[in-house]
Structure 1
Amino acid sequence: MSIRPYVLTEKEFMNQEELMYPFEERGLQFGDGVYEVIRVYHGEHYLIEEHVERLYRSAEAVRIEVPYTKEEMYKKLDQLLQLNEFTGDGKVYLQITRGTAPRDHTFPEGVTANLYAYVMDLPRKVEWMKQGVSAITQPDVRWDLCYIKSLNLLPNVMAKQAAAEAGSFEAILHRDGSVTECSSSNAYLVKDGAIYTHPATKNILHGCVRIRVEAFAKKAGIPFHEQAFTLDDIKSADEMFLSSSTAEVMPIVEVDGDQVAEGTPGTITQKLQQAYEEDARISAEQSIFSASGKKALS
């Protein structure tokens, strides 16, 4: 995955090699900042309104003043793709911190926020989407304000690393047996034709793709319940899947070494995948269905 040369900052566009911040940068020393990851397909942002809205909600929650208005942010992010002549599939990483100031826990006065955004190539995980992935379960030891997309991700990193060391794609997080979400995605369970997922409380990130998944389900007449499920419920699940900007709608076919139902992506999951592809305007050549020779689901 290659990062394209031009980056957006709080002041201007510049070459990535010119981007430098002092060591007393609050994002580096305190994790005092927020971020977003925006998916890009064929050179166009996907769900950019949802991501920008969430960025500003997160910044407001931690009292960071974003250096651009929302309207300016939309224009700047479009310019970032144009300046890099980016026309493929990728992602934009955008980070805002409280700024640079002598190290002290209290907020510095008269300091401008630091911002940078860059775009990099990111092909779709087609084979994993077709076959499904495995996951492990881990206790959710994060702070209580997970709806804020903050830079404080060490618990997420540790859970993701545990999954990687177990040969799995993701770690499903739980609090006393009640599933919240995954280390970097939202988690769903399908039972008797209905979808279950943790309510959008302060304890989970309100995923942008999660919003779309709910809309896809309702349009297809699939019951969608914001109701937490448990580790015990997983044992009798008909299907499981996760969603995120980089993983899209990803089937989970194994948890902690145990097969989920038949161990293959389920019908409801595939319907949501197809709805996602249509919404994101994925070409027929890139579709996980045409690539596998499957017919479109009715």
Structure 2
Amino acid sequence: METVYLNDKFVAADQAQVSVFDRGFLFGDSVYEVIPFYQGQGFRLDEHLARLEHSLRGIQISIARDWKAILTELVAKNGGGNLSVYLQISRGSSGQRSHAYDEQMQPTVFACCNPIRDIYDEGPDSIAGISAIVTADLRWHRCDIKATGLLPNILVMQQARQAGATEALMIRDGLLTEGASCNLFMVDKGVIYTPKRSSEILGGTTRELILELAAVNGIPTQEVDIDYDHLMNADEVWISSSTRAVVPVIKIDDQLIADGKKGPLWARMFELFTRYQRDLMQGGV
């Protein structure tokens, strides 16, 4: 039976209970993180926890825990290895439904684990290029806060599936923002482009790592506004996320990107990314 963490206790998943008046359940008044652990080691853990603190400050929840110790112990209790940890913190429950909240309310903290692939041991040939659609970005304007109110993301992902695609890339005021569950990159003439950081996108930890790896290895990058025509005429398009790493997009809106094959710069970034992952697992990062 899976072990989960709930309000300072490790319990069996089927024993975990949360109040029906919890504001995370009633209002989506909560934030979350998804953190990969490889061989029991948190991947970019400090960066994930820094983003968690940003989200908590953004919705004015005050809570202090030794998150690293808690999550590491949770992973160990679930057998270690390669797991992603989902951590959610809601404002808590006042015992009734009310839009107003008491600042002294005790937050609800929940965490659980799911298995993830160990991509570095599989190699680039095992990574399939995906198809995507471009659709309107229906989300609120504080996407830098990793909040649990994901209904717009769910709707556009379902739209993508109904179109036979894997991912939905969102556009607002004529500019691409990000995917429903990922950040966006494109390559044009050897330069990696990604949308500018703003409150309209989530500052992905894998996004930041890709930019760091590119800088260290002399690959030019630019954070710019990207419109639809620029995207569709790119030499390569990628998405990135903590649990999927960096994935090539070979078709958008039923149009092949370049020749519809995984690009050489993606292959180079995959190599750099998985080498970084391997070093982390072997204690070298």
**TM-score after normalising by structure 1:** 0.88
Aligned pairs for 1:19-34 (under 5 A) are 19-34=16-31
Partner of 2:283: none
The residue number in structure 2 matching 1:249 is: 246
Structure 1 residue 81 and structure 2 residue 75: aligned? Answer: yes
- Residue of structure 2 in register with 1:163 after alignment: 160
Distance 1:84 1:29 in 2: 29
| 1:121–1:224 CA distance, 2 compared to 1 (3 A) | same
Q: How does 1:25-64 map to 2 (within 5 A)?
A: 25-64=22-61
Query: Which residues of 2 match residues 212-291 of structure 1 at below 5 A?
Result: 212-281=209-278
SS class of match (1:76): helix
Query: Runs ≥4 in structure 1, deviation > 4 angstroms?
Result: 124-129
Letter in 2 for 1:78: T
- Tell me how far 1:179 sits from its aligned partner: 0.5
Partner of 1:93: 86
Alpha-carbon distance change, 276 to 30 in structure 1, aligned in 2, over 3 angstroms: same
2:109 to 111, 115, 131: 115
SS at 2:148 equivalent: coil
1:15 has 2:9 as partner: no
SS of aligned partner of 2:127: helix
- Structure 1 Cα separation of the partners of residues 40 and 279 of structure 2: 12
Separation in 2, partners of 1:188, 1:133: 14
The answer (yes or no) to whether the contact 2:40–2:72 under 8 Å persists in 1 is: no
Distance 1:282 1:162, change over 3 A: farther
- Give the corresponding residue for 1:288: none
Residue 142 to residue 185, structure 1, CA distance change in 2 (3 Å):
same
Residue of structure 2 in register with 1:106 after alignment: 100
Shift of 1:83: 1.9
- Conserved 8 A contact 2:134-2:168: yes
Provide Cα deviations, 1:78-125, integer angstroms capped at 9, x if missing partner.
1111222222x2210000000011111112243210001111212257
Could you list the per-position Cα deviations for residues 223-277 of structure 1 after superposition, in whole angstroms to 9, with x for gaps in the alignment? 1101021111122110000100121100000000000001111111111111110
Matched-pair identity in %:
33
TM-score of the two chains, using structure 2 as the length reference = 0.92
- Give, in whole Å, the separation in 1 of the partners of 2:270 and 2:28: 34
SS in 2 for 1:131: coil
SS of the residue aligned with 1:202? coil
C-alpha change, 1:129 and 1:156, in structure 2 (3 Å) is farther
CA contact (8 A) 2:5 2:11 kept: yes
Q: Kindly provide the amino acid, as one letter, of the partner of residue 238 in structure 1.
A: D
Q: Which amino acid in the other structure matches residue 81 of structure 1?
A: V
Partner of 1:137, secondary structure, is strand
- Spell out, residue by residue over 1:174-205, the C-alpha distance to the aligned partner (whole angstroms, 9 max, x if none): 11321011111001110011011111111100
CA contact (8 A) 2:130 2:250 kept: yes
